[in-house]
Structure 1
Amino acid sequence: MSETSQTLLRHILEASYPGAAAHSPSEDKENFEKLKATYDACLDEDTIKKVGLAPLAELLDTINHLYPASCFRSPRSTDGLSETVIYLAKLGVTALAAAGTGADDRDPDQVVVSVSAPYRIGLPAKELYSDDKVVEKYKTVIHDVFAALYPEKLDHLKDSTSALVEFEIKLAAASPDAEDRDDVTKYYNPLSLKDTDALTPDLHISKLIESLSPSDVKTERVIVMAPQYLKDLNKLISDTPKSVFNTYFQWKAIQAFYSYVEADAITPYRRFVNELQGKDPASSPERWRTCVNHADDGVGWILSRFFVEKAFSEKAKVLGDRIVTDIKDQFIKKLEKTTWMEQEVIDLAIRKVHNIVQKIGYPTKSPNILDPPSLRDYYKDVKVNASTYFENAAAFNTFEVIREWSALGKPVDRDQWDMTVPTVNAYYNPPGNEIVFPAGIMQFPVFDVAVPEYLSYGAFGSVSGHELSHAFDSTGRHYDQNGNYTDWWTDKTVASFKSKAECFVNQYANFTVEGSDGKPLHVNGRLTLGENIADAGGLSAAFQAWKERAAEKPNQGLPGLDYFTQEQLFFVSYSNWWCGKSRPETAVQRIYTDPHAPKWARILGTMANSREFRDSFKCQSREPVCELW
């Protein structure tokens, strides 16, 4: 599906403006030209090579000016530290601490500021800092990049490279584990802004937040998502020589912008990134693929407008809405029959299902992608030039940062989407109590108005049920029918849930991939708990929804697949959706960072937990291994 979608996007981007002059407003063509300039600048490799390191070098010069390596007070002076973190943050680069805005979990109509540990320190997962081979290779790569950038400093580079990686190792050790990072019961720590500075007196968080906030907004309250990390960070700052920060800040900028540069100096890092993913070090995707993704990242809503025109019909939107509504109905029936929840919780849970907002296909507000003037206004502050790839990328980052922070002081915009329309994915947003399905995931073969409905319900329907089940998983259950983080479950219901959830934790912890040392590496049953619960609940709700529809209007069979019953084909369609391959190195990284179990485990585990699957295939044992709904 991604492949089909990417190819279609390529055709859109490489064709001339498709609008008919008679009825297309001038803004539509203007938007298309901005989209095309974004794509063309990325495709123009000759110019990118000619420009070489210059734009990155300019950025590094600014960092050297803000935070010079030579000490101007003492080797441990922190002058300029906050200024450099702010400079990078405005470019969308996280250094030392991450600040952002979003709905307040306890008041989901209000926008609040949060501060956390960086999502990624330097290597893709904090566990990789325990792998001596990877760390040594990483040191060599950083050394080689800086040696090419600053040949005159060769004598000092070995020491500064080692010091930088040692610093990152300490940052990684201080940062939260993946399973705790998104746990609202652990990250929701409101503090007054002035109190955040007490956690990191050497890094003024208040200064960072004030610099990113609109000038007319005063922030007084902050959600500190990892207080212990900030305390440990402050100790690290005071214990670390100043020169290390200079190297660290430059390295963050290089990691953020290396892919927009064609120059020998950054080749070692490009090769290293490939190796970490298990690819051939010299490999690179076809250029058009890189550029399609770049256009989607930068001006994705304009791209979405042209994608919808080609790939998503009104009939598809109607069917998608109907499937999601059917699954909501089935989930209510499941809740009504649930024996482990107390009645007062069931009643509130049913209200929560009724309240779930379903967004299907594409946004029609914030921005309305079908309205060219709305799209033009959305991107009016982004300047794009068909010959400045690096500068375009920096402009997109800056635009996103400004857009995110401009939400402060206003009510939460519930019309926003977090995924562009061609994205082959979906999500549930707990404070918004909404499930969102971009048109990209509503494509053949997992969804189509023309195929038998057991295919669409088996794949897309299960995804819909999965997202809806997130409203009651280990995270979603903490949010009530209005999206408030609150204790709305009784103690008895919570105890029953935890007991049933433990079954999923243990079941999935038995799945393994081969670790980098050749030994089995177990799936993290706690990190993947929410997704595994959602898979089980979603599949069951989708099956019941399809059965009810098929009773009204029987589905046709598929030629050549007469061996399978339609019930069995429902599960084949689901499983086919998760069929995939991963390189061993990528599989290991995902174990550390991905809240989803490996794809094959999502098939085997979910089938083992499906009473309906066991019935359809006449398994000896009809009892699920684990079951919630």
Structure 2
Amino acid sequence: MSRQMALFAAQAQWAFNWSRAPNVRWRYLTAQRPGGALQTRLLTFALHSSGFTGTSMAVRTLSRLPEQRLQTARWLRRSRIPEKKSSYGSFHILNDELLKILRGLLDRIIVREGTQNVLGKLAVTYEACKKVPKLPDRHDVLFEIMNVSALAHWPVTRNSVSDVNRMKHYADVLLKVGMGALLRYDVARDSKNITAHVIQIDQMTFPVIGRNQLIHQKDKHNKRIIAAYKQLVQVALKFMAPKISASELKKIANTLVSFEGKLANLTASNEERRDMWSIYHRTTITALQQKYKSFPILGVLNKEFIKADIVLTEDETIEVYALEYYKKMVKFLEKTNPVTLFNFIGLRVMFTWAAHASKSIRDAFFELRKATSGIQKRRPRWEECTVLMNRAMKEITGYLYVKEKFSPEAKSEVEDLVVRLKEVFQESVATNRWMDKSTKAKALLKLRKMEAKIAYPSWGLNLDFLEGLYNNVPQLDPKSAFLTMWHHIAANNGKKKLEKLRQRYKRELDWIAGAALVNAFYDSTSNEMVYPSGILQGVFYQYGLPRSLNFGAIGAVVGHEMTHGFDDQGSQFNHNGRLEQWWSNRTRARFNEKADCFRRQYGRIFVKKLNMTLNGNNTVGENIADNGGIRLAFKAYNKLLRQKCDEVDTRLHGLEHLSGKKLFFIANAMVWCNLSRDKLLKYLIQYDPHSPSRYRINIPMKNTKAFSRVFGCRPRSAMHIDPKERCTLW
């Protein structure tokens, strides 16, 4: 028996023993693989029964197992969410290991004298990042960045001498400093002309605190968050205007937070934006300018695109995804004091850079995070810097990671899983009774055309190509400030994004994620799934484990992403990624009925300790994918047993009583295991399109008829559900 199989046997024995308790409810606990330099942690689920705690039952069960399995029990007894984290689970454990690997790789890069290549630029920036807390504040560098952004006189105070004081109209402010704080703009694949890129405009985002907190600032549950946010604003203002009086400082901070709250109230909530057809508007700059004359859309867009040597004209096509917000925003800005608008935009720009220049601002950000997510301790600086570099130069960190950790076996097995899950999905579509023939044919075409990008792109190990991605980053002086280097990298990335507007769309060049990432994705605009190299290990996949385990883990993840192509949002795009009404009215109505079942089912879940109900509307897409993923993976596993194994599954030594089908569900539960602090959980229930992890395990398994059959769920058990109440779509 392989080491991996021995490990899983220890976890599965405990899980199975607990599953036989009356009135069981599936939950989560954590297990650790004994031994090994990396101490790879794996997660399994626990079962909750009234009157028992997970830890005590796990210890009693595991106390009868051999010594190496007792290490699992010891870990369970000690398991806590680390102080530096707001949640902890299988994704976090694997991500921690990934960051340690990246740290080692970054530390090993040798920076030679002379011309830096892209690896040298990465290494120099990483080293500079780690030194930031030990160095004095860099007000000079931050001032220079604000100056480049036309914000040299920020903030405008009572005694300021600034041209902003003479401005009479909000448009003058936008033409001076840009619109990024008010509107999110991007260059992406055109939703209609899919061979091209297009400018997309959307409503503002809230990267520091949530939309609901800004709208309901006086709510008693939000008071601490708003107080911490106002303190952060004051610290930022004081850093750039050290002579400002305490009374004026407080007044400006209150004005800016109130102003942001009014803007937030103009935006639509996430659940209001799920129907793409209700928010999508294709137009031209001139049409938008004529309808909303006071907003200088051409001027502010050209202020950005000139950075890529692109001059826009009035006939440029744009896609607007928040026209109602745009209309309200223009009306609101027409009554806005230009100084307030200037100070607000400047504050947003400050938040982008200031933490890398000021200890007091870093401290204020941390206090805000404590209020919003419940973390108790800062992550180590090396970890913070590794995360930053993996975001800013993801292709380069991906290059390092793939060369170190790439598993051809994992790539091959995921490719096989994609084929097998596509087969059972096609069978499900072909045999269901609620779709008409025309819609079925188009759905089957979309499945056939759906591409899977696995591990890393074809160009991911081509250093010459990677050099070109960062050719606007100059030679970096190791003695210069980290913020200077960071600004150069951000400017390069921004310019590369803008340049896409005049480039043809090429699927192979467009990867939405780097290779060194523990996650998976579906992109509806290109009809493709992405499984980075970082997720093809640990609890998700291990070479040598029985198929039941890998099908239950990475197989269900594959099924999850595949189902996203046919959830409430993904289903609005055709086989080529074009936004299109390809469903018949009758079949779409039947689809909506089935989707409504999930909305009601999850929307009835009340989290007592938080006094909150889940948002079944905002989470419907992920809930459809969770349920579809496990059903597809289980069907594919059963088909494999029939076709390749004569219905004979692989059993684990000492756990022969656990069938492959039981191991499948155990492995699936391991994937979604997660513990979250209450503060974060409150935040996630408000905004996250995913349901809390507990319900990502329990509800899909309740809805899966095979689960009840495999585990023999009794009619009155917590995991039993009336067949009439089951929600199924795919």
Q: TM-score, normalised by structure 2?
A: 0.79
Pairs within 5 Å for 1:391-410: 391-410=484-503
Mapped contact 2:623–2:690 kept (Cα < 8 A): yes
Match of 2:318 in 1: 222
Query: C-alpha separation between the residues in 2 aligned to 1:441 and 1:199?
Result: 47
Seen in structure 2, the aligned counterparts of structure 1 residues 329 and 85 have a Cα distance that, compared at 3 Å, is: farther
Question: Is the aligned partner of 1:627 residue 2:728?
Answer: yes
Larger mean CA deviation between 617-626 and 480-489 belongs to: 617-626
Displacement after TM superposition at 1:320 (Å): 1.3
- What is the root-mean-square deviation of aligned Cα atoms in Å? 2.5
Mapped contact 1:199–1:231 kept (Cα < 8 A): no
Query: C-alpha separation between the residues in 2 aligned to 1:199 and 1:269?
Result: 40
Query: C-alpha separation between the residues in 2 aligned to 1:272 and 1:575?
Result: 33
Query: C-alpha separation between the residues in 2 aligned to 1:568 and 1:150?
Result: 64
Larger mean CA deviation between 329-338 and 29-38 belongs to: 29-38
Pairs within 5 Å for 1:177-196: 177-196=269-288
Seen in structure 2, the aligned counterparts of structure 1 residues 600 and 128 have a Cα distance that, compared at 3 Å, is: farther
Displacement after TM superposition at 1:51 (Å): 4.4
Deviations 1:488-526 (A, max 9, x none): 111110111111111100111122346xxx752211111
Deviations 1:91-140 (A, max 9, x none): xxx31111111112223222111111122165233345314213344224
Displacement after TM superposition at 1:386 (Å): 3.4
Question: Is the aligned partner of 1:57 residue 2:143?
Answer: yes
Displacement after TM superposition at 1:229 (Å): 1.1
Pairs within 5 Å for 1:85-484: 85-86=177-178, 94-120=180-206, 122-132=208-218, 133=223, 134-154=225-245, 155-198=247-290, 200-213=292-305, 214-216=308-310, 218=312, 220-280=316-376, 283-364=377-458, 368-383=459-474, 384-387=476-479, 388-415=481-508, 416-484=510-578
Displacement after TM superposition at 1:17 (Å): 5.1
Larger mean CA deviation between 144-153 and 239-248 belongs to: 144-153
Amino acid at match of 1:627: T
Displacement after TM superposition at 1:190 (Å): 1.1
Percent identity between the aligned chains? Answer: 25
Mapped contact 1:191–1:221 kept (Cα < 8 A): yes
Amino acid at match of 1:208: V
Pairs within 5 Å for 1:563-578: 563-578=657-672
Match of 2:29 in 1: none
Aligned with 2:189: secondary structure? strand
Displacement after TM superposition at 1:385 (Å): 4.2
Question: Is the aligned partner of 1:496 residue 2:590?
Answer: yes
Seen in structure 2, the aligned counterparts of structure 1 residues 292 and 560 have a Cα distance that, compared at 3 Å, is: farther
Question: Is the aligned partner of 1:586 residue 2:683?
Answer: no
- Higher-Rg member (1/2): 2
Displacement after TM superposition at 1:561 (Å): 4.1
Aligned match for 1:546, one of 631, 637, 645: 637
Seen in structure 2, the aligned counterparts of structure 1 residues 519 and 425 have a Cα distance that, compared at 3 Å, is: closer
Count of residues in correspondence between the two structures: 607
Displacement after TM superposition at 1:330 (Å): 1.1
Larger mean CA deviation between 579-588 and 191-200 belongs to: 191-200
Aligned with 2:250: secondary structure? helix
Amino acid at match of 1:397: A
Aligned with 1:401: secondary structure? helix
Displacement after TM superposition at 1:262 (Å): 3.8
Mapped contact 2:452–2:528 kept (Cα < 8 A): yes
Match of 1:30 in 2: 117
Amino acid at match of 1:189: H
Match of 1:610 in 2: 704
Pairs within 5 Å for 1:513-528: 513=607, 520-528=611-619
Query: C-alpha separation between the residues in 1 aligned to 2:682 and 2:427?
Result: 39
Larger mean CA deviation between 115-124 and 320-329 belongs to: 115-124
Mapped contact 1:513–1:588 kept (Cα < 8 A): no
Mapped contact 2:171–2:296 kept (Cα < 8 A): no
Displacement after TM superposition at 1:380 (Å): 1.7
Displacement after TM superposition at 1:557 (Å): 2.4
Amino acid at match of 2:441: D
Displacement after TM superposition at 1:18 (Å): 12
Query: C-alpha separation between the residues in 2 aligned to 1:426 and 1:456?
Result: 15
Deviations 1:344-365 (A, max 9, x none): 111111111011111111011x
Amino acid at match of 1:30: N
Query: C-alpha separation between the residues in 2 aligned to 1:121 and 1:232?
Result: 21
Amino acid at match of 1:38: T
Displacement after TM superposition at 1:266 (Å): 4.9
Mapped contact 2:102–2:386 kept (Cα < 8 A): yes
Seen in structure 2, the aligned counterparts of structure 1 residues 216 and 246 have a Cα distance that, compared at 3 Å, is: closer
Q: Which runs of 5+ in 2 are unaligned?
A: 1-93, 157-161, 715-719
Larger mean CA deviation between 56-65 and 325-334 belongs to: 56-65
Displacement after TM superposition at 1:203 (Å): 3.7
Displacement after TM superposition at 1:242 (Å): 2.1
Mapped contact 1:98–1:116 kept (Cα < 8 A): yes
Match of 2:132 in 1: 45
Larger mean CA deviation between 209-218 and 335-344 belongs to: 209-218
Seen in structure 2, the aligned counterparts of structure 1 residues 560 and 107 have a Cα distance that, compared at 3 Å, is: farther
Mapped contact 1:473–1:530 kept (Cα < 8 A): yes
Match of 1:9 in 2: 102
Q: TM-score, normalised by structure 1?
A: 0.91
Amino acid at match of 2:393: V
Displacement after TM superposition at 1:167 (Å): 0.7
Seen in structure 2, the aligned counterparts of structure 1 residues 313 and 136 have a Cα distance that, compared at 3 Å, is: closer
Displacement after TM superposition at 1:183 (Å): 3.3
Q: Which runs of 5+ in 1 are unaligned?
A: 20-25
Amino acid at match of 2:652: L
Query: C-alpha separation between the residues in 2 aligned to 1:77 and 1:144?
Result: 28
Aligned match for 1:82, one of 174, 194, 197: 174
Seen in structure 2, the aligned counterparts of structure 1 residues 540 and 297 have a Cα distance that, compared at 3 Å, is: same
